[in-house]
Amino acid sequence: MRVLIAGGGTGGHIYPALAVARSLRARPDGADVSWLGGHRGLEASLVPAAGFPLRRLALRSLRSVEANVHAVLDPLRLAASVPQAAAILSTERPAAIFTTGG
């Protein structure tokens, strides 16, 4: 079974999802687990170190609404991530998706 885990950012999101990923991989049928995350969160180092492939989106965490360059770029990155995610889903074709916040 192919499973895609999506989430990242902080350890509170990543460590529980890594536990699920390890559990799925340890099943007798040996689920094929991959990860969808970002470039900056803890997933960028923890997921590959745990032996799971990481597909990265342009999306970064959304910030407060204070006026700065990130306030302009974040919605654009969010919009760019939608077709990226669709392409990854089309390629990976997971049977299940497990998501966390972040």
- pLDDT at res. 72: 76
Structural domain of 84: 2-99
**Number of folded domains that form the chain:** 1
pLDDT of residue 58: 78
End-to-end CA distance of the chain: 25
Confidence check: pLDDT of 102 > 60:
no
Residue 76: CATH number of its domain: 3.40.50.2000
**If you average pLDDT over residues 27-39, what whole number do you get?**
90
Burial 71-91 (b: 16+ CB within 10 A, else e): eeebeebeeebeebbeebeee
pLDDT at 80: 85
- Beta-bridge partners for 18: none
Quick one: how far is CA 60 from the chain centroid? 11
Q: What is the mean pLDDT of residues 24-50?
A: 91
- What is the reported pLDDT for 5? 96
